[in-house]
Amino acid sequence: MGRTLWLVAAVLVLAVSVVTAGEPPQGAPYLGMGLGQVVVTGVTEGAPADKAGFKVHDLIVALDGTGVGTTTEVANIFAAKKVGDVVAVDVKRAGQNQTIKVTLGERPEAPQGENATPYVGMGLGQLVVLGVTKDSPADKAGFQVDDLILTFDGAVVVRTTDVVNLLAKKKAGDEVAVEIQRAGQKQTIKVTLGQR
């Protein structure tokens, strides 16, 4: 199943590269869910992404055959394109893989001309639950695959390292409120951190 990243005793599965940093210390806090990938958080009506059929919660896996795991990687690939280019975007939607072809448009507020900036018209987020370990604190609290993590212990989080840094300040037995978005609805899940 790949290698695991153990930082501050949290198992976080990264979408593209996974690094091993050793075993967690005995008694460290444990959450039990994997986070990563790039998820569509919004689609602008009438924009190229809307016309191509993107939906909120689509997980972006690759652009033109190049695997992506961060919003920066997606932005860099789109930035290298020009208006009118067609990009094949591999997504996972409701557990099913599919490829969506999007024709890049011109940014509406940009002046028209040769150096027009390519425009897709979708918002991207990065913290989506990829897996939940059976009988883990995350499982017992009710986390599900595809939950989009918005806040962790009251702090807005956009990277897995944000969660790791917040976990570093906690101990086993602490209760943490995690705001998520599931099926378009926001909710808060309270999870009691376990012990490894």
For the chain, the three-class secondary structure string (H helix, E strand, C coil) is CCCCCEECCEECCCCCCCCCCCCCCCCCEECCEEEECEEEEEECCCCHHHHHCCCCCCEEEEECCEECCCHHHHHHHHHCCCCCCEEEEEEEECCEEEEEEEECEECCCCCCCCCCCEECCEEEECCEEEEECCCCHHHHHCCCCCCEEEEECCEECCCHHHHHHHHCCCCCCCEEEEEEEECCEEEEEEEECEEC
pLDDT score recorded for residue 115: 62
Could you tell me the CATH superfamily of domain 38-125? PDZ domain (2.30.42.10)
Query: Is it true that 6-35+132-195 and 38-125 share their CATH fold?
Result: yes
Q: What is the pLDDT of residue 104?
A: 92
CATH code that applies to domain 6-35+132-195: 2.30.42.10
Whole-number pLDDT of residue 121: 85
AA identity, residue 31: L
- Report which of 170, 159, 131 is spatially closest to residue 32, judged by C-alpha positions: 131
The confidence score (pLDDT) of residue 177 equals 96
Return averaged pLDDT per consecutive 10 residues of the chain, 196 residues in all.
24 24 53 74 90 89 89 86 93 89 84 68 79 92 89 85 85 93 90 87
Domain map (residue ranges) of the chain: 6-35+132-195, 38-125
Count CB neighbours of 19 within 10 A: 10
